[in-house]
Structure 1
Amino acid sequence: MPNNDKPLNGHDNPSFLDLLNQLPPQPPAPELHGQHGTTQRARLRAAWKESWEEGGFLYQRWEEIFQARRGSWHEAATWIKTSLLLGGLSLIVLMLDAAGDVVSAALKGLSDLPATHGGDGSGLWGTVDHPVRVFLADQAAHLSVAPAALYAFWQLTGLLGLVGGFLGNAGARIAWLLFGIGSLAMIWSAAPAGGRAAATGLAALMWALASIFALRGLTLRPIVHNHPPQFQPQFNPALHLHATLPAPTPAGDDLGPDNIHPLQR
């Protein structure tokens, strides 16, 4: 069967039918079953050996793999690109599935924690953490979600924003900024009236210290690159004048017409 695929980079696209076409012609069917199996194995060995010879199916595929190691992505064969893309997509799907399981387990584990754990308001961390727990518990009473789940999501958002911001992810840094602003608002709303300013200021200082790591390398100063352009056009102004000169006058006509003569002394 002929290969109708269009050539790519000077080579035909691989087709598994080419390997089958390289099988030697099948001899007449033997009478015994054992001889038939031996003949099939002999034909397969012959096809395998012939496919590895120069110009064979497997020989050409091996040459394409060898050339892809030294060439660029655009010069690689189509079947190599397809295999790599399918393998990469499968790996991404597996990683996303595993990440989803990890996040689900983390949320479930954090949600199982009691909402009153460490919420007595004592200590520096309790001064900041207790108003957040109180605010989330009051809001959860009007929602179809447990207070522990809201508190677990709040913790997870802060953790991901801190780690992702340290790694330089822009989305994680935005989440970290929103996490800090929301935390300050919750602390100001739920803290006792007498110590509201102190609790909010303490939370702002703790968030600013943590932002040293979350916003590492972030600057508001514009970055100016003073690299000269690779191509600098040169302008050479020139003025071109095109003048038309009259034809020379014959020698006999220097004095003008015959009836006009210069004044002579």
Structure 2
Amino acid sequence: MQPNDNTGKNRQELTYLPVPFPKAPPKEPRFAALRTWWNQAWEEGGVLNAMWEDILSAPEDGLRYMAPWIRAVLTVAGLSFVLLMAQAAGEVILQTLRQLLTAVPKVQVGVDTSSGVFAVVDQPVRTYIAQHAVGLPVAASTVYTLWLLTGIVGLVLGFLSRNNGVRAMWAGHGAATVWMVWTATPDTSRPVTAALTVLAWTFLSAFAMRGLTLRRRVVGRPAKVTVKPEIHVPVQPPAPAAEQHPHSSCPFRD
């Protein structure tokens, strides 16, 4: 008779039982750390709370005493706006110049298109440019227009700004004009034409070089001398006391 003992068998079955895995910790809600930081930043003394207080106090503090980070943001925004405006203005100016230079070839160069006193200077300049602009990447009419614009800009800006650089440009423009007139004019009338050109440039220089002087400028203002007439009376020493007779005060004086 077999003993009814299942202890060994149960032990063998227990060895094959699956081992339970440890339970994973519960996951934190999504963006919990960000939410915690957000709540702490808006508490008293937090980063966002301090920045909001700086923004509220900025109108009262003014530009000089407002928070540095606000001034930095305003400076960057202002510079960005200026750069965008300058870029837009530059594009408009370049587009205008491109349209102007595109229409320039309609101007005839080297042909008697001007009359009167102005033709004395204008026709030799046109002829000189037409003769020496061959082979350039731009048309001769474009060169003539640039020469004309340079003279107008030098005359106007020299009159308004009194800048030495603009005056130098005007002087160079006048010298180049006289040279072109002298070269392109026939020998018989060359002296008269050059003389008239110099006179015309000198007359216009009275406006372009307005305020130019050869006197030496004194840097700074002269010191002001203030004269205040005063009478000083020397202090006189006190007069010595008069000597008295020893019996002068005696009531029984004879």
TM-score class normalised by the smaller sequence: 0.5 to 0.7
Q: Percent of counterpart pairs with the same letter? A: 29
Number of positions where the alignment pairs a residue of Structure 1 with one of Structure 2: 182
- Which residue matches 1:130? 123
**Which of 141, 146, 155 lines up with 2:148 in the alignment?**
155
- Mapping of residues 194-209 of structure 1, within 5 Å: 194-209=188-203
- Which residue matches 2:208? 214
- Mapping of residues 10-21 of structure 1, within 5 Å: 21=38
Report if aligned partners of 1:140, 1:147 keep a CA contact under 8 Å in 2: yes
- Mapping of residues 51-130 of structure 1, within 5 Å: 57-69=51-63, 77-115=71-109, 119=112, 122-130=115-123
Give the deviation of 1:89 after TM superposition: 2.1
**Which of 219, 231, 239 lines up with 1:225 in the alignment?**
219
- Which residue matches 1:185? 179
Change (3 A) 1:66 1:203: farther
- Which residue matches 2:160? 167
Q: Specify the code of the residue in structure 2 equivalent to 1:21.
A: W
Change (3 A) 1:67 1:143: same
Give the deviation of 1:108 after TM superposition: 2.7
- Which residue matches 1:241? none
Could you tell me how far apart the structure 2 residues matched to 1:180 and 1:215 are?
12
Change (3 A) 1:22 1:99: farther
Give the deviation of 1:22 after TM superposition: 5.9
Report if aligned partners of 2:109, 2:127 keep a CA contact under 8 Å in 1: no
Q: Specify the code of the residue in structure 2 equivalent to 1:211.
A: S
Give the deviation of 1:121 after TM superposition: 6.2
- Which residue matches 2:235? none
Change (3 A) 1:139 1:223: same
Report if aligned partners of 1:64, 1:77 keep a CA contact under 8 Å in 2: no
Could you tell me how far apart the structure 2 residues matched to 1:58 and 1:132 are?
68
Change (3 A) 1:121 1:226: closer
Q: Specify the code of the residue in structure 1 equivalent to 2:38.
A: N
Q: Specify the code of the residue in structure 1 equivalent to 2:174.
A: G
Structure 1 gaps of 5+ residues are 1-16, 25-46, 48-54, 230-265
Give the deviation of 1:158 after TM superposition: 1.0
* Structure of larger gyration radius: 2
**SS at structure 1 position matched to 2:117:** helix
Change (3 A) 1:142 1:109: closer
Report if aligned partners of 1:68, 1:76 keep a CA contact under 8 Å in 2: no
- Give deviations 1:210-259, integer Å, cap 9, x for gaps: 11221122222221135368xxxxxxxxxxxxxxxxxxxxxxxxxxxxxx
Report if aligned partners of 1:110, 1:152 keep a CA contact under 8 Å in 2: yes
Root-mean-square deviation (CA), in Å?
3.3
Could you tell me how far apart the structure 2 residues matched to 1:109 and 1:171 are?
30
Structure 2 gaps of 5+ residues are 1-33, 43-48, 224-254
Q: Specify the code of the residue in structure 1 equivalent to 2:203.
A: L
- Give deviations 1:25-55, integer Å, cap 9, x for gaps: xxxxxxxxxxxxxxxxxxxxxx9xxxxxxx5
